[in-house]
Amino acid sequence: KPGENPQIRPELREQHLRATDGQVWTRFPPEPNGYLHIGHSKAIFVNFGYAAHHGGKCYLRFDDTNPEKEEARYFQSIIEVVRWLGFEPWKITYSSDYFDQLYDLAVELIKRDKAYVCHCTQEQIKADRGEKISAPKACVHRSRPIQESLDEFKKMTDGYYRPKEANLRMKMDLTDGNPQMWDLTAYRVLDASHHRTLDKWKIYPTYDYTHCLVDSFENISHSLCTTEFIASRQSYEWLCDALDVYKPRQSEFGRLSLQGTISSKRKILQLVDEGYVSGWDDPRLYTLIALRRRGVPPGAILSFVSTLGVSTAASNIQIARFEQTVRQYLEGSAPRLFMVMRPLKVIIENVPDDYLVMVDKPFHPKNPQLGSSQIPFTRTIYIDADDFRLEDSKDYFRLAPGKSVGLFQAPYPITCTSYKTDSASGEVTEVFCRLEDSGTPPKPKAYIQWVAEHASSGSPVCIDETRIFHPLFKSDNPLAATPDFKADINPNSIEVIKGAMVEVSFWPLAKRYVADALEEARARSAEIKAIPGAGSHDAHTPEITTEQL
Ligand code: ATP
Ligand code: MG
Ligand code: MG
């Protein structure tokens, strides 16, 4: 139950319960060093969803303690995507909001003899840990007098030291079996300007030092994180106890990953920077902005993560399962259009040149609420080249010489009477058919898609370029496949098709979707401008044009 961590001192618990009124308070704490990916949607769902389910509150907290890796554009996109998924943060905060408080507590920690300034190099620290990574030796700095550490920490703060020359380390327990207890670094010197605190600080707190304390300041009741932090729970609690502050309860859940994709911001950044993909929203990626661009609705993503459960088991899910959920989600609501990817011309010889039937075609076979469109059916139609074969066989039901096939929604089936080939390539260029509009028409065993030529109604709509996205990687586990995951990239992950054709109702639908998307995007960027503290990121608000959409 909220606040009922048995290890919390009663007065700290009282203080916490007064702040939260016993509600569930959670936080989603991304580091603004990249765009969020499908894995984050699980953390968003767990944190926001758990709080909402219990009538509690969830913070969006930017864990911005690493100024070298963070950029303003990431902040903005993270807010946008959280909202796109349908969650509204109770408050948007930044770890950097608490830099002063964190600093004061660091001084307090030194005074309590629970932290010291250390000048060892990373190599020395490693060497102290020995070959087997067992209980390390204490270094010479660990036992220096408190006052000396206070003075050195001041020097770190004043910019006396260059990066790596001095670190504030917590005086934890070198005899513990958990390496997270081996005097973790609390503060390091960084020669970097922070996008919020600018050049105020020469030193920055680490994740291990910051995370639990900010959870404590914000009165988080349930600190929910992924299982790689299980070992960190001990250091989390150690630090809260060392400073006598309210100690939130940490619980862990398993990470989500999709087979055959990369969900590490650092690695996705490499793909973007090195030009393997066109950007963070390249439709072959599984970042949330890529999924959005691809047309995956937020509800489908939530529906997917809600099926995963929140056990500590890491889930490595097949892409097919994700896509299946998306399809199911879209099934009842997405309008269907006829499209022929590789058009093959079909001439219906037994009807006059000006033959025209307007077909009332429902947008969805089972959902009349989606409405219907009027599409022309004329003497010249196009079918997909894959739906025609010269050689017939018993298990083949589509068009072949002498054979009949049904045309979805059209009044009658057609039967192939002859065809024309290209003299050079031997490829079939035109097919001649008879419309079975008299007598007893043959009962077709299959129906195929088609679009008709009818200039005055603008049919068909010709698509200059159609892109089909295949998996970006060749194997299910690109990170394990080769020493360099980029060697596993599938060179044929984009298939480009020229000259596909779509039914004429494409235009009104497309215009509606673009208009809706445009409005949504404008609303989002207006909301972002309205967020206090987001002002400094305004320069990065893109002007969205219809063309881009
Ligand atoms: P990356 O390695 O991509 O940078 P991260 O874990 O460092 O990921 P953060 O921005 O720190 O990313 O993540 C914010 C929150 O989202 C954390 O609580 C983290 O545990 C959670 N999270 C990140 N990736 C996943 C994932 N694949 N599945 C579930 N939760 C995740
Ligand atoms: Mg992180
Ligand atoms: Mg990370």
Residue 375's domain is classified under what CATH number? Answer: 2.40.240.10
Which pLDDT does position 243 carry in this prediction? Answer: 96
What total of structural domains would you count in the chain? Answer: 3
Decide which of 205, 224, 253 is a domain's last residue.
253
pLDDT on residue 541: 40
The answer on pLDDT for 321 being more than 90 is yes
Residue to mutate, 71, 226, 288, 316, ligand 1, most ligand atoms under 8 Å from C-beta: 226
Q: Are residues 89 and 191 in the same domain?
A: yes
Ligand 1 and 225: CB distance under 6 A: yes
Considering the domain architecture, whether residues 412 and 546 belong to the same structural domain is answered as no
Give the pLDDT score at 522.
Answer: 80
The verdict on 533 and 398 lying in the same domain is no
Domain boundary among 200, 219, 253: 253
Both 444 and 545 in a single domain? no
Answer yes or no: is 491 within a domain: no
| Pair 545, 412 in one domain | no
226 lines ligand 1 (CB under 6 A): yes
What pLDDT is stored for residue 132 in this prediction?
65
Among 28, 37, 40, name the best residue to mutate to test ligand 1's pocket (greatest count of ligand atoms within 8 A of Cβ): 40
Ligand 1 atom at minimal distance to the Cα of residue 267: 3
Say if residue 212's pLDDT is above 80.
yes
Q: Is 17 helix (H, G, I), strand (E, B) or coil?
A: helix
What is the spatial distance between Cα 79 and Cα 266, in angstroms, rounded to a whole number?
20
| Closest ligand, as measured to the CA of 230 | 1
Q: Would you say the CB of residue 30 lies under 6 angstroms from ligand 1? A: yes
Any domain includes 472: no
Looking at the structure, tell me whether residues 51 and 193 fall in a common domain.
yes
Residue 546 and residue 427 share a domain:
no
pLDDT of residue 536: 42
pLDDT interval class at 537 (50, 70, 90): very low
Give 58's pLDDT tier (boundaries 50, 70, 90).
Answer: very high
- Is 230's pLDDT higher than 60? yes
Judge residue 539's burial from the number of C-beta atoms within 10 Å of its C-beta, 0-12 exposed, 13-18 middle, 19 or more buried: exposed
Same domain, 130 and 247: yes
| Those residues with Cβ within 8 angstroms of residue 343's Cβ, 6 or more apart along the chain or in another chain | 382, 383, 384, 385, 451, 460, 499, 500, 501
- pLDDT for residue 539 is more than 50: no
The ipTM of this complex is: 0.95
Residues 239 and 139 in one domain: yes
Q: Is residue 359 part of a domain?
A: yes
Q: Is residue 533's pLDDT more than 60?
A: no
Q: Residue 179: is its pLDDT beyond 80? A: yes
- Nearest ligand to residue 32 Cα: 1
How far apart (Å, rounded) are the C-alpha atoms in residues 85 and 283? 18
Residue 316 lies in a domain: no
Return the active site residues: 31, 255, 265
- Range in 41-45, 127-131, 199-203, 442-446 with the lowest mean pLDDT: 127-131
Residue 460 falls within a domain, yes or no? no
- Residue at a domain's end among 434, 450, 466: 450
Q: Which domain holds residue 510?
A: 505-549
Pairing status of strand 343-348 against strand 428-435: parallel
- Are residues 96 and 214 located together in one domain of the fold? yes
- C-beta 478 within 6 A of ligand 1: no
Specify if 372 maps to a domain. yes
**Which CATH number goes with the domain that contains 195?**
3.40.50.620
In a domain, 228, yes or no: yes
Q: What is the pLDDT of residues 81-112, one digit of tens each?
A: 999 999 999 999 999 999 999 999 999 999 99
Considering the domain architecture, whether residues 96 and 222 belong to the same structural domain is answered as yes
Q: Is the CB of 232 under 6 A from ligand 1?
A: no
89 C-alpha vs ligand 1 centroid, how far in Å?
Answer: 18
